[in-house]
Amino acid sequence: MKKFVLILLTLCFIPTLAFANGPEDDDEYPIDVYIKGKQAAMYESFTGVEMKDNRVTLPVRVVAEGLGGKADWNEKTREVTLTHGKNVVVMTIGKKAYTINGMKKTMDTVPRISKNRTYLPMRFVSEALGVKVQWDEKNRTALFGDMEIGKKVKGEKIQVFKNVTVTIPEDKKDMFLYKEEKMDDGFLRKSLYEKKNHAADEAIGWVGCFDIADKPEGDIPSYVVGRIGNKYLIFICASDVQTSLENKELQKAYNDARKELPEILSTVQIAK
């Protein structure tokens, strides 16, 4: 059985430098969060964004994995220790006091337990670990850190847009295929396909596509790759299986390509 997804895109994002107060009803006023470019909802341990004291909070495993650190839990003291490089941050459930490399600090909210998960305030964690924070009040979008791009590798260099290139590395040339497709509405889709699936059937193997837009679309799995002027370069991912479910070899090839996608996106270069 084959499953297909066709995604129409209209994206908009306007950055500001500081968080502003907002309503605490996340169902009515959803918040979209990106950690180093990757949408928080794409993490397996993601159980939702929650607001506490008008602060964005996320499950500790998402925070640690997204920022590239390590999290340890002390049941007796109810402390969470986050380690990122030389930085060590210790927070205690229900307490505003915390430490950064042993130095005492105070925040205006508290870590807490919700849905059987430990939720941490992202702004304080990010700033303690030296990660840039951006908040867009209008679109209720938070970005913690930028995706690391500009990696130079040998391979097929592709002009995605006038000032944007992406490289398919030599060791990934049998895995990925770049293709430009004109959609029914006239939109020119700049797509990446998993090569084996697409060769077996042109209707499958779609991994995602690039777009330049004003804001991320929270309902679609995506990466914020970088900025172009006042707009953002987005990579929109397939939100459903794009392979033959009966063919285990093709399934594995597609899953492997999805795992390697961040490596491909790291080769994106944006000319000034």
Query: pLDDT tens digit string along 207-235?
Result: 999 999 888 877 889 999 998 888 889 99
- The whole-angstrom separation of Cα 17 and Cα 13 is 13
Please report, as a single letter, which amino acid is at residue 2. K
Q: Please, what is the average pLDDT of the chain?
A: 86
39 token code pair: 């949408």
Residues 103 and 131 in one domain: yes
Tell me whether residue 200 is exposed, middle or buried, using C-beta atoms within 10 angstroms of its C-beta: 0 to 12, 13 to 18, 19 or more: middle
151 token code pair: 């990696």
Domain that holds residue 233: 155-270
Confidence of residue 12 (pLDDT cuts 50, 70, 90): very low
Residues 60 and 115 in one domain: yes
Residues 72 and 159 in one domain: no
Backbone angles phi and psi of 201, in degrees to 5: -160, 120
Please report, as a single letter, which amino acid is at residue 193. Y
- Looking at 144, 168, 194, the residue that finishes a domain is 144
Q: Please indicate, yes or no, if residue 22 is contained in any of the structural domains.
A: no
- The whole-angstrom separation of Cα 134 and Cα 146 is 10
Q: Please indicate, yes or no, if residue 48 is contained in any of the structural domains.
A: yes
- The whole-angstrom separation of Cα 115 and Cα 59 is 10
Length of the chain: 272
Residues 182 and 253 in one domain: yes
Residues 131 and 191 in one domain: no
Mean pLDDT of 236-253: 90
- The whole-angstrom separation of Cα 69 and Cα 130 is 12
Residues 233 and 258 in one domain: yes
Mean pLDDT of 181-188: 88
Q: Please indicate, yes or no, if residue 14 is contained in any of the structural domains.
A: no
- Looking at 119, 144, 169, the residue that finishes a domain is 144
pTM of the predicted model as reported, rounded to 2 decimal places: 0.83
Residues 139 and 166 in one domain: no
- Looking at 99, 117, 144, the residue that finishes a domain is 144
Centre a 10 Å sphere on the Cβ of residue 16 and count the other Cβ atoms it contains.
Answer: 11
Q: What percent of the chain has pLDDT over 90?
A: 64
